[in-house]
Amino acid sequence: MARLSNIHHNVAAFLDMLAVSEIGARMLKESDDGYNVIVGGGRFDSYATHPRKLIEVRPGLKSTAAGRYQLLARYYDPYKSLLGLPDFSPESQDAIAIQQIKERRAIPLIEMGHFTDAVNACKNIWASLPGAGYGQRENAIAGLRMAYTSSGGTLIA
């Protein structure tokens, strides 16, 4: 569950859906709700900063993705500075993900319950979203919608 409490319930549910999409429901249960996960399933011990570990995911694909939303190391410092964040804590990770969603102009879509439109707006950020096109595993929209509604997200009728 997202740790920031002063956010719209649909935004919190969207963050939870992103975590399921990026990390998987099982990994969320086996970790600190995904906040301490490194790409490939490893863990890191300190939230002082992004772990910046380069992991070979498969031959030809290396990544520094870490945290609940699998943020790449190269994006951490700019977002930390932009948002005035102290660390890579769960709250900071939530704030960065929300900022990324804002940059895609998807917050109003999420708040109004336009789930599929919001996913489409954010697919260039998270490789696991349908249609991302990064050559990695993409999740089906139906399963993501279920994760979103299971986390309390509402859809337009």
**Whole-angstrom Cα distance, residue 148 to residue 42?**
25
Helices (H), the chain: 9-23, 25-29, 73-83, 90-103, 107-112, 115-122, 141-150
**Whole-angstrom Cα distance, residue 1 to residue 93?**
12
Which candidate in 22, 30, 91, 111 is catalytic?
22
Q: Give the amino acid at 67.
A: G
**Whole-angstrom Cα distance, residue 45 to residue 148?**
28
Closest CA to 155 of 38, 3, 17, 22: 17
Residue 22 is a catalytic residue: yes
Active site residues: 22
